[in-house]
Amino acid sequence: MHFMKVKPRTEANGSGYRYQSKACWIRCAGMLTLCAGLLLGQQEVRADAIWDRWKAADAAVQSGHPEAAVPHWTFLADHYASIGDYENAALFCGRLDEYFDKIGDYDQAVHYYELENTYWLKAGKDWGAVDLQRAEQLRTTLEVFYSTDDEALLRSQAAPPGGKLAKFEPQYGTYIGMYTERDPKMQNYFDRSETFYGKKHALYLAYSQVGKAFPRQYASRAKQAGAALQIGWEPAGGLDAVTEDTVRQWAREAKASGIPIFLRYASEMNGDWVVWHGDPQKYIEKFRMVHDIMAQEAPNVAMIWSPGDVPMYSMDAYYPGDDAVDWVGVSMYTEPYENGDPAQGSMLGTSPVERLDYLYKTYAPGSR
């Protein structure tokens, strides 16, 4: 099961404005700080001024006039940012971005959504990722597309900045693949796809665990279908189970398969739901070892580094380096409802394209 961590919110006072459930303890902490300041002899005027702003903003919302709270929220966001209290700064930016979003002032909403994300990051939290996505939804963007059959033009437009294609990269276009494990008609007989779905596919996906034999049957069926094979190779026994002898034997069998193999080794490493999460340095060491052995033993293998699209800000620590990665992939789950149950509410908080934005801007050719 995979979940997106989002900034928790609850409805308050029937006003239609959403407040973070974290607000209670943050506010209490702020009150305690103010009280402590009074007891310790700090300037009462400043403490009273901050608390007066809190009360005035709350009173404005409760009276049905949230617009009157805006100057107080702005003052409080700036004040807390100025003293390095980024959690409270993010909290008040959150009230501002939601207010401006609701009234249709999208330029201001975008500004405060981005500022809220910045402050959450400074506070060591990733709760602002969804705010950044909402900012992208609101920002006006015009994209123009056209269709052409001119292959020379397509190749020139798709050429990478350095001019060199990655291993198995097509000159233009994309590979369309299929995962058939749970398809009762296909049953991992890859040559059936044209019969049932009207076309062949470029590659098929299979899973295998580190320590088990190379999946020869899947490779044989992919070869029979004239396709490549993507293998999700998972160290279910932990990273220590990824030894040189184990990897080298597997690599030799991969070479013997005689087909292009896209090796998605230890994916979703940035999520705590996999056992190979938690030690970025060891992960990188093992990934680079696997890459080096494949380069020596199995030149038909392309290495894929594939984090989950969430948690967004934890993937960078696991990146093994451009020289060890042929392709960057991503695991992204966009089912409309959790476990297929509409009663649990929609999971589509934003579009798949927007969820890929950070990954693409960080790892696409020319971005690093």
pLDDT tens digits, one per residue of 336-367? 766 677 777 665 656 777 788 889 989 987 76
- Other Cβ atoms less than 10 A from the Cβ of 256: the count is 12
> What is the pLDDT at residue 298?
98
Which of the residue ranges 79-93, 179-193, 210-224, 292-306 would you say has the lowest mean pLDDT? Answer: 179-193
Residue with tokens 């602002």: 128
d(CA 335, CA 91): 30
**pLDDT tens, 283-316?**
999 999 999 999 999 999 999 999 999 888 899 9
Contact criterion met (CB below 8 Å) for 13 and 62: yes
Q: Which residue has the tokens 């020596």?
A: 296
Over residues 98-116, the mean pLDDT reads 96
Residue 286 has what pLDDT? 98
pLDDT of residue 152: 93
| Cβ-contact 118, 128 below 8 angstroms | yes
- 297's CB contacts (< 8 A; 6+ apart) are 248, 251, 252, 254, 255
Local structure of residue 139 (DSSP, 8 states): S
pLDDT at residue number 338: 66
Instruction: Tell me how far apart the alpha carbons of residues 5 and 22 are, in angstroms, rounded to a whole number.
Output: 14
Question: Of 26-35, 74-83, 97-106, 183-192, which range is least confident?
Answer: 26-35
Q: What is the pLDDT of residues 6-45, one digit of tens each?
A: 333 333 333 333 333 333 333 344 443 434 343 334 444 4
Give the model confidence (pLDDT) of 237-262 as tens digits: 999 999 999 999 999 999 999 999 99
Q: Which residues pair with 265 in a beta bridge?
A: 233
- Kindly list the strands in the beta sheet with 327-328, ordered across the sheet, starting from the edge strand earlier in the chain: 177-178, 203-209, 228-234, 261-265, 301-305, 327-328
Residues with Cβ < 8 Å from 61, sequence gap 6 or more? 12, 13, 15, 17, 69
Give me the pLDDT at residue 143, please: 78
Residue 168 CA to residue 173 CA, distance in Å, equals 12
- Whose tokens are 């490549």? That residue is 228
Is the pLDDT confidence value at 73 over 50?
yes
Sequence letter at residue 113? Y
Q: Are strands 228-234 and 9-11 parallel, antiparallel or unpaired?
A: unpaired
**Mean predicted confidence (pLDDT) in 82-97:** 96
Confidence of residue 139 (pLDDT cuts 50, 70, 90): confident
The highest-confidence range among 80-94, 135-149, 159-173, 324-338, by mean pLDDT, is 80-94
Contact 121, 93 (CB under 8 A): no
Q: What percent of the chain has pLDDT over 90?
A: 65
Question: What's the pTM?
Answer: 0.71
Helices (H) and strands (E) in the chain, counts: 13, 8
